[in-house]
Amino acid sequence: MSNTIDALNWRYAVKKFDTKKISAEKLDIILEALRLTPSSLGLQAWKFLLVENPEVRKQLLPATFNQEQVIDASHLIVLARNTKLEEGDVKKWTEYLAQERNMPQDKKDGFHQMIMGYLSSQDDENKSIWLAKQLYIALGNLMTVCALEGIDSCPMEGLNPAQYDEILGLEEKGLKTVVVCPIGYRSADDPYQHEAKVRYPEEELFLRI
């Protein structure tokens, strides 16, 4: 069995964290992996908030239905989407992309127009859903890299996003909370670590066409 599959079998959604802190070196790897997450059209219309202040995390506890992972874990990562995606955001991205790849002007302009054409074809509701979906790509990447590095995680949708936005001051930053993920080390007292990982067998899940 490869190290990757071993790590994914080891991973589970931790219900009780130890107080042990993630080293700076490990944290750098995790944050760089998040930075390298792919996004649709490369737009990266998101921010990853590393909530380190213990007092702020205590304020977030009721907004997470008193799930104590948010205060016990080494670090709390809030994955937030841009509230809006406007032409200025697209221009910023295509200019940065062109600069980094030495892209000719006509190619940059064509890419810009293609993105704007897609965005103009979507109403506000569809754009909001599309932006939120991007964060689940980042969440999956985060959990996988954590497992490979021997770091525990717990993806959490059980929260009040509006309360998170208020506590973290996200509205004025043009952001909305989508999902959160405490990361750290499992407690020896967490009984869920001893439960078998239950997934349907390959023949139940995969269709070869």
* Residue-wise pLDDT tens digits, 90-122: 999 999 999 999 999 999 999 999 999 999 999
* Residue-wise pLDDT tens digits, 182-209: 999 999 999 999 999 999 999 999 999 9
pLDDT the model gives residue 161: 98
Measured distance CA(193)–CA(147) in Å, rounded = 14
Question: Which residues 6+ apart lie within 8 Å of 9 measured at CB?
Answer: 1, 197
pLDDT the model gives residue 124: 94
In contact, 61 and 182? CB cutoff 8 Å: no
pLDDT the model gives residue 1: 47
CA nearest 145: which of 52, 11, 2, 1? 11
- Residues in the chain with pLDDT values less than 70: 1
3-class secondary structure per residue, 5-69? HHHHHHCCECCCECCCCCCHHHHHHHHHHHHCCCCHHHCCCEEEEEECCHHHHHHHHHHCCCCCH
Set out the domains of the chain in order of their start, with CATH numbers: 3-205 (3.40.109.10)
Tally of CB atoms within 10 A around 204: 7
Torsion of CA 166, 167, 172, 174, to 10 degrees: -80
